[in-house]
C-alpha cells in the first residue's frame, strides 16, 4: 500500500500527534572501585541523556508506521510516551485526541500495547484465564468478547494453546497469545515494541501476516518498532528513522533508499578471463566466471556499467539486485556513527512542522 | 466485586493445578504462620507470664499478630504489599496500562483467597481459642472494636510498606527489595510485648517503625491491660494518619515515575 | 597448576564485587541494618522483664542471656549463613555460574563473605563497642571460651553452608517454588537454631532435643560456648559430626539432581 506522506494527513484523520516532544534522563555514574563506592553514593556524578529532542510527528488513522533507529535512539521512550507510561519534559503528546497521562484510564481502553520482552499473560494460568481476566478488567461486554475471541483464535491459531499454561509456551506462542490479548478489546491503535524479538522465521512470518491483515481489515493504526528492517519493510508503508533523539527521516522506504543510498548488486557471468574493471563499482566476489559488483545506482547507471563491462569481456548473463534493507540501514547507522549528528541535521531530515 | 471474583477464580485454578503443590503450600503457610509466633509463645509457656501479660493474653496477642500478618498476604499478594518490587523491577507499567484507577488495581490484583488462606486460618483459630480465656466479657461492642483494631493494624502495616516502597519510584534498583526489609522489621518486632521498654524506644516502635500497633498496643487496650478511655481508638487513629502519609508519598512517587519511567525490567514475581 | 594466591584473588575479587553490590547507589541498604539495632534493643529489654528477680534459669543467668542475645545479633549474618542459593536458582543464574572457573560453593561463599563486610563494619562493630551502653558484658565467659568460639564459628559456617546447599538441592529435586522452600526453612530455623531464643529456655525439654539438630549447630552451639553455658567439647563434637555428615549428603544430592538442575536453574 502506498505510504501517505505525513503532510497528506488531514487533522481529522490524525490519531497520533506529537509536537516538539522532549525527554531527558539523568543517569548516575558509579565507580567499580570499593574505595570510591561511598563517595559516589553520597555525591553521585550525573550524566544527562537527551532521549528525545523536539520530536514532531503525526500518524494517520489506518497507517502502519515503522519506527526505527539504532540502540539508544529513543524508540522505546517514544512508545512509552504514546502508551501513557511516561510524561514528556516538553511538548505535547495527543493520541486519539487524548492526553495519555491525564486521561489514562479512558485512554488505555482504546489502545493496545505489546512489548516484545514482556508478557501480560499470567504465568501459572492457562491462556483462557488470562483472556477472561482481560475481559473483566477492560469491561469488555460478553458478546463482543466472544466475537473477538473467535476471530483472534482463528487468525492467530490460538485454539491449540488456549488451555495451556503460559509458562509452557514457546516464545512465538506467547507472542501470539499476547497479541490476541492486546486486541481483545478492539483497540483503535496498536503499539508494538519489538514484537518479533527472538522469534523464529515461521513465527515472525505468522505475526507479520496477522498484523498486515488486521490493519487491512480492521483499519487499526499500528506503530511498530523493531531492529529487524526486513520485517518492518514488509509491514509498514512509512518509516520514521530516529537518531540521537531526533527524527532523521520520515517517509517511504523508496525515498529512504533513494536519499541515503541506492546500493545495488550487479552479477555478471562472463565467458572467461579476468573480471572487468568497472569505475564506480566494487568487485566483491569472482567465482567460476560469476563476478559480483556493488555500486550506487544514484551515481552510475546499470546501462553505463554494462557498456563498460561489455567493452572488456564477453557477457553471458546479467542479474541485478537491490541491497537488502538491513544493509541499507546498517550503512546509515555506520555513517551516523562516523559523522556524528552533523550529516543529518542539515540535509536529510524531511520532517517539518505541519 | 467482578475483579475480586476473577482473581479469586484464578487463585483456585492455580492452587488446584497439582496435589503436591497444594499440600506443600498449605503446610508451608501453616508452619510459617505458626513459627512466626512460636518464639514468644514458648517463652510465655516457660515463664507463665511476660511482665503484665499472662500466658493466655500473650497467646491472644500472638494470634492477633498472626491474623494481621496473614490478611495482607490474602488481599495483597502478587507483590502488591511488596510494592517496591513491582516498581523497582519496572513492572509498574503493567498496572498503568489497565483501564482502572490505580487504587482499584491494587485492591484487587493481589486477592488470593485460597492460596493464602492458611496464612490467616491458624491465627483466626488461635484467636477464637484465646478470646474466651483472655478477653473481657464478650459483647458486640467489643467484637466491633476488635474488628476495627484488626483492620487498623493491617492498614498501618500496608501503609508502612507503601510509604517505604514508594522510594522505589526514585531509586528503583536500590529500593527493589526494600519492602522485604520493612516487612521483616514489622514481622520480627510485632510479636514482642513492649511494656518496660524506655519511652524513646516505645515511641519509636509506635511511630517510626509502627510494629507496636500491629499487636501489642491494640491488644493492650482490648484486653484492658491499658485502661485509658480512648485506648481502643488510638490504633484506628494511627491507621488514618499513616494511610494519609503513605498516600501522599505514593502520589509524589507516581509523579516522579511519570517523569522518569523505569529503565529496568525484570519479570520475576510478575503475575506468578 | 595455578598458585594458591592467584586462586584466592579470584574469590577475594568476587567478594569485593558482592560488597559493592550491597551498597548500590543509594543509602536505602541501611534499612536492614537498622532492623538489627531495633531488634537487639527490644530483645534485651524483653529479657530484663522476663528474668528480672529470677536466679539462673536452666543454668543461664540474666547476664549470660543478655550476652548471648547481643553476641547473637553481632554475628547474626555469620550464624544464619545465607549464601542466597535460592535467589541464584530463582534468577536462573546457576547455569552462568557453572561457566566460571571457580567452584559453585566457593563463589557463593565468597559473595556471602563480601555481603558480610558492611554488616560487620556498620552493625557488629558498633554493637560490640557500645555493649557497655546497652548494659551488657560482651566479653566471652573465659579466654578459652573465646578461643573455642572462633573454632565453633568456623564449624557453624561449614554446617550453614552445607544446609544452604542441601536446601537448594531440595528446591531442584522437588521442582517446587523457591519461595516455598524458603518459607519452610525460615519457619524451622526461627526456633530450632537458638539464634533468637536460647534453646535452654524453651519449655517441655524442647531445648535438649533441638540441641542435637543441625540448626542448633549453626547458632546455639557457638553462642553457648561463648557464654560458657554448655559443654564445649560436646557442642564442638556435634558441630563437627554434622559438618562431616551434611557435606557428603549435599554433594550426593547435587550430583543426583544435576540434570534437573539444568532444566530448573538455567
The pLDDT confidence band at residue A206, using thresholds 50, 70 and 90, is confident
Residue A4 parent element (H or E):
none
Looking at the predicted structure, is the pLDDT value of residue B247 above 60?
yes
3-state secondary structure of A178: helix
Do A44 and C24 count as a contact with CB atoms less than 8 A apart?
no
Taking Cα atoms as reference points, which of B264, B263, C22, B91 lies closest to residue A26? Answer: B263
Q: pLDDT tens digit string along B171-180?
A: 888 888 889 8
Query: Which stretch, A116-125, A313-322, B6-15, C211-220, has highest mean pLDDT?
Result: C211-220
Q: Nearest CA of chain A to the CA of C78: how many Å?
A: 22
Which is more confidently placed, A7 or A258? A258
CB A245 within 8 A of CB A81: no
Cα–Cα dist A183/A144, whole Å: 12
The pLDDT confidence band at residue C176, using thresholds 50, 70 and 90, is low
Using a CB-CB cut-off of 8 Å, the residues of chain C touching B47 are: 50
Looking at the predicted structure, is the pLDDT value of residue A322 above 90?
no
Looking at the predicted structure, is the pLDDT value of residue A114 above 50?
yes
Looking at the predicted structure, is the pLDDT value of residue A351 above 60?
no
First to last CA, chain B: 22
The pLDDT confidence band at residue A11, using thresholds 50, 70 and 90, is low
DSSP secondary structure of chain C: ---HHHHHHHHHHHHHHHHHHHHTTSGGGHHHHHHHHHHHHHHHHHHHHHHTT---BTTB-HHHHHHHHHHHHHTHHHHH----HHHHHHHTTHHHHTTSSS-HHHHHHHHHHHHHHHHIIIIIHHHHHTHHHHT---S-SSHHHHHHHHHHHHHHHHHHHHHHHHHHHHHHHHT--HHHHHHHHHHHHHHHS-SSS-GGG-STTHHHHHTTSHHHHHTHHHHHHHTT-S-HHHHHHHHHHHHHHHHHHHHHHHHHTHHHHHHHH-
Using a CB-CB cut-off of 8 Å, the residues of chain C touching A39 are: none
Nearest to C196 among B28, B39, B197 (CB): B39
- The pLDDT assigned to A1 comes to 31
Cα–Cα dist A167/A124, whole Å: 6
Do C25 and A30 count as a contact with CB atoms less than 8 A apart?
yes
Which is more confidently placed, C107 or B155? B155
Cα–Cα dist B73/C183, whole Å: 13
Do A41 and C25 count as a contact with CB atoms less than 8 A apart?
yes
- Mutation target vs B (from C21, C27, C38, C86; most B CBs, 10 A cutoff): C38
Do A44 and C16 count as a contact with CB atoms less than 8 A apart?
no
Q: Nearest CA of chain A to the CA of C154: how many Å?
A: 26
- The pLDDT assigned to A73 comes to 82
Nearest to A137 among B3, B13, B93 (CB): B3
- The pLDDT assigned to A180 comes to 93
Strands ordered across the beta sheet of A263-270: A281-287, A290-296, A263-270, A315-322
Using a CB-CB cut-off of 8 Å, the residues of chain C touching B195 are: 49
The pLDDT confidence band at residue A339, using thresholds 50, 70 and 90, is confident
Looking at the predicted structure, is the pLDDT value of residue C60 above 60?
yes
Nearest to B258 among A101, A109, A138 (CB): A101
Looking at the predicted structure, is the pLDDT value of residue B42 above 60?
yes
Grid cell listed for C176: 517446587
Looking at the predicted structure, is the pLDDT value of residue C99 above 80?
no
A149–chain B Cβ distance below 8 A for any pair: no
Cβ atoms within 10 Å of A316's Cβ, excluding its own: 12
pTM score, whole prediction: 0.81
The mean pLDDT value for C44-50 works out to 87
ipTM for the complex shown: 0.81
Q: Which domains does chain A carry?
A: 6-16+57-258 (3.40.50.300), 262-322 (3.30.70)
Q: Is C168 exposed, middle or buried (0-12, 13-18, 19+ CB in 10 A)?
A: buried
Q: Nearest CA of chain A to the CA of C71: how many Å?
A: 28
Do A41 and C16 count as a contact with CB atoms less than 8 A apart?
no
C21–chain A Cβ distance below 8 A for any pair: no
- The pLDDT assigned to A115 comes to 86
Least confident of A180-184, B68-72, C23-27, C236-240: C23-27
What separation in angstroms does the CA of A48 have from each of A45, A87, A175, A344, B49? 10, 17, 34, 22, 61
Do A123 and B9 count as a contact with CB atoms less than 8 A apart?
no
* Phi-psi category of residue A285: left, alpha or beta, with phi > 0 → left and psi -120 to 50 → alpha: beta
Looking at the predicted structure, is the pLDDT value of residue A354 above 60?
no
Looking at the predicted structure, is the pLDDT value of residue A341 above 70?
no
- The pLDDT assigned to B51 comes to 80
* DSSP-assigned letter for residue B109: T
Cα–Cα dist A195/A112, whole Å: 13
Do A87 and B259 count as a contact with CB atoms less than 8 A apart?
yes
DSSP secondary structure of A214-240: HHHHH--EEEEE-S-HHHHHHH-SEEE
Query: Which stretch, A25-34, A205-214, A324-333, B17-26, has highest mean pLDDT?
Result: A205-214
Residue A103: closest C-alpha in chain B: B99
B188–chain C Cβ distance below 8 A for any pair: yes
A118–chain B Cβ distance below 8 A for any pair: yes
What separation in angstroms does the CA of C157 have from each of B118, C81, C183, C192, C198? 33, 6, 21, 16, 19
Grid cell listed for B222: 482490648
Cα–Cα dist B128/B122, whole Å: 10
Q: pLDDT tens digit string along B45-103?
A: 888 888 888 889 999 999 999 999 999 999 999 899 999 999 999 999 999 999 999 99
For the packed helices B55-75 and B19-47, what is the interaxial angle rounded to 10 degrees? 150
Cα–Cα dist B224/C251, whole Å: 56
Q: What is the mean pLDDT of chain B?
A: 88
Looking at the predicted structure, is the pLDDT value of residue B132 above 80?
yes
Which is more confidently placed, C112 or C99? C112
A47–chain B Cβ distance below 8 A for any pair: no
Do C42 and B197 count as a contact with CB atoms less than 8 A apart?
yes
The pLDDT confidence band at residue A2, using thresholds 50, 70 and 90, is very low
Amino acid at each position: 500500500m502506498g505510504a501517505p506522506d505525513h503532510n497528506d494527513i488531514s487533522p481529522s484523520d490524525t490519531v497520533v500527534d506529537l509536537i516538539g516532544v522532549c525527554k531527558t534522563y539523568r543517569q548516575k555514574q558509579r565507580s567499580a572501585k570499593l574505595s570510591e563506592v561511598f563517595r559516589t553514593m553520597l555525591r553521585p556524578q550525573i550524566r544527562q541523556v537527551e532521549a528525545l529532542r523536539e520530536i514532531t510527528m503525526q500518524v494517520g488513522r489506518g497507517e502502519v508506521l515503522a519506527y526505527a533507529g539504532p540502540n539508544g535512539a529513543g524508540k522505546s521512550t517514544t512508545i512509552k510516551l504514546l502508551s501513557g507510561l511516561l510524561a514528556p519534559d516538553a511538548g505535547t503528546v495527543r493520541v486519539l485526541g487524548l492526553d495519555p497521562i491525564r486521561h489514562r484510564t479512558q485512554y488505555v481502553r482504546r489502545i493496545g500495547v505489546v512489548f516484545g520482552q514482556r508478557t501480560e499473560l499470567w504465568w501459572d494460568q492457562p491462556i483462557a484465564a488470562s483472556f477472561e481476566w482481560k475481559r473483566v478488567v477492560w469491561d469488555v461486554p460478553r458478546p463482543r468478547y466472544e466475537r473477538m475471541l473467535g476471530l483472534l483464535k482463528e487468525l492467530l491459531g490460538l485454539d491449540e494453546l488456549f488451555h495451556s499454561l503460559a509458562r509452557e509456551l514457546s516464545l512465538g506462542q506467547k507472542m501470539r497469545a499476547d497479541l490476541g490479548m492486546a486486541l481483545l478489546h478492539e483497540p483503535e491503535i496498536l503499539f508494538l515494541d519489538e514484537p518479533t524479538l527472538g522469534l523464529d522465521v515461521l513465527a515472525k512470518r505468522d505475526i507479520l501476516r496477522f498484523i498486515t491483515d488486521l490493519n487491512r481489515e480492521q483499519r487499526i493504526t499500528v506503530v511498530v518498532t523493531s531492529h529487524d528492517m526486513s520485517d518492518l519493510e514488509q509491514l509498514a508503508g512509512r518509516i520514521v528513522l530516529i537518531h540521537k533523539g531526533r527524527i532523521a527521516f520520515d517517509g517511504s522506504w523508496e525515498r529512504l533508499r533513494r536519499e541515503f543510498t541506492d546500493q545495488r548488486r550487479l552479477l555478471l557471468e562472463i565467458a572467461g578471463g579476468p573480471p572487468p574493471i568497472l569505475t564506480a563499482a566494487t568487485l566483491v566476489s569472482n567465482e567460476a566466471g560469476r563476478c559480483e559488483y556493488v555500486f550506487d545506482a544514484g551515481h552510475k547507471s546499470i546501462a553505463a556499467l554494462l557498456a563498460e563491462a561489455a567493452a572488456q569481456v564477453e557477457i553471458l548473463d546479467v542479474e541485478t539486485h537491490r541491497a537488502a534493507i538491513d544493509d541499507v540501514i546498517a550503512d546509515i547507522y555506520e555513517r551516523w556513527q562516523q559523522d556524528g549528528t552533523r550529516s543529518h541535521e542539515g540535509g536529510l531530515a524531511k520532517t517539518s512542522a505541519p | 466485586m467482578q475483579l475480586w471474583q476473577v482473581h479469586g477464580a484464578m487463585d483456585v485454578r492455580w492452587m488446584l493445578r497439582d496435589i503436591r503443590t497444594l499440600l506443600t503450600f498449605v503446610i508451608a503457610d501453616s508452619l510459617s504462620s505458626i513459627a512466626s509466633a512460636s518464639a514468644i509463645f514458648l517463652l510465655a509457656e516457660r515463664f507463665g507470664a511476660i511482665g503484665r501479660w499472662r500466658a493466655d493474653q500473650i497467646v491472644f496477642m500472638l494470634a492477633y499478630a498472626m491474623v494481621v500478618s496473614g490478611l495482607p498476604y490474602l488481599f495483597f499478594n502478587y507483590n502488591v504489599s511488596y510494592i517496591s518490587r513491582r516498581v523497582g523491577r519496572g513492572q509498574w507499567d503493567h498496572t498503568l496500562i489497565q483501564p482502572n484507577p490505580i487504587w482499584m488495581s491494587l485492591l484487587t490484583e493481589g486477592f488470593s483467597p485460597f492460596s493464602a488462606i492458611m496464612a490467616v486460618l491458624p491465627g483466626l483459630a488461635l484467636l477464637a481459642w484465646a478470646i474466651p480465656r483472655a478477653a473481657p466479657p464478650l459483647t458486640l461492642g467489643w467484637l466491633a472494636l476488635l474488628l476495627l483494631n484488626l483492620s487498623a493494624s493491617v492498614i498501618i502495616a500496608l501503609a508502612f510498606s507503601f510509604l517505604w516502597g514508594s522510594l522505589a519510584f526514585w531509586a528503583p534498583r536500590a529500593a527493589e527489595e526494600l519492602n522485604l526489609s520493612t516487612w521483616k522489621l514489622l514481622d520480627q518486632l510485632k510479636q514482642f510485648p513492649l511494656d518496660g521498654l524506655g519511652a524513646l524506644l516505645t515511641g519509636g516502635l509506635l511511630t517510626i517503625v509502627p510494629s507496636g500497633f500491629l499487636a501489642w498496643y491494640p491488644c493492650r487496650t482490648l484486653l484492658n491491660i491499658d485502661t485509658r478511655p480512648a485506648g481502643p481508638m488510638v490504633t484506628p487513629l494511627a491507621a488514618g494518619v499513616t494511610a494519609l502519609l503513605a498516600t501522599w508519598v505514593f502520589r509524589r512517587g507516581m509523579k516522579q515515575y511519570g517523569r522518569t519511567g523505569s529503565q529496568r525490567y525484570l519479570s520475576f514475581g510478575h503475575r506468578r | 597448576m595455578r598458585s594458591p594466591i592467584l586462586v584466592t584473588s579470584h574469590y577475594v575479587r568476587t567478594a569485593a564485587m558482592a560488597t559493592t553490590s550491597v551498597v548500590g547507589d543509594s543509602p536505602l541498604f541501611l534499612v536492614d541494618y537498622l532492623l538489627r539495632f531495633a531488634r537487639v534493643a527490644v530483645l534485651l529489654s524483653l529479657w530484663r522483664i522476663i528474668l528480672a528477680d529470677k536466679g539462673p534459669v536452666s543454668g543461664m543467668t540474666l547476664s549470660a542471656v543478655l550476652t548471648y542475645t547481643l553476641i547473637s545479633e553481632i554475628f547474626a549474618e555469620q550464624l544464619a549463613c545465607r549464601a542466597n542459593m535460592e535467589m541464584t536458582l530463582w534468577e536462573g543464574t546457576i547455569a552462568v555460574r557453572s561457566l566460571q572457573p571457580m567452584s559453585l560453593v566457593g563463589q557463593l561463599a565468597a559473595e556471602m563473605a563480601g555481603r558480610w563486610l558492611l554488616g560487620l563494619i556498620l552493625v557488629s562493630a558498633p554493637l560490640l563497642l557500645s555493649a557497655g551502653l546497652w548494659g551488657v558484658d560482651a566479653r566471652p565467659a573465659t579466654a578459652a571460651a573465646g578461643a573455642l568460639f572462633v573454632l565453633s564459628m568456623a564449624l557453624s559456617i561449614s554446617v550453614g553452608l552445607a544446609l544452604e546447599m542441601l536446601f537448594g538441592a531440595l528446591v531442584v529435586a522437588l521442582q517446587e517454588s523457591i519461595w516455598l522452600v524458603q518459607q519452610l526453612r525460615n519457619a524451622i530455623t526461627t526456633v530450632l537454631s537458638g539464634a533468637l531464643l536460647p534453646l535452654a529456655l524453651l519449655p517441655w525439654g524442647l531445648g535438649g532435643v533441638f540441641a542435637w539438630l543441625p540448626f542448633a549447630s549453626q547458632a546455639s552451639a557457638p553462642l553457648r560456648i561463648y557464654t560458657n553455658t554448655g559443654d564445649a567439647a560436646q557442642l564442638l563434637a556435634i558441630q563437627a559430626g554434622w559438618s562431616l555428615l551434611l557435606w557428603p549428603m549435599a554433594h550426593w544430592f547435587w550430583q543426583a539432581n544435576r540434570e534437573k538442575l539444568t532444566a530448573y536453574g538455567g
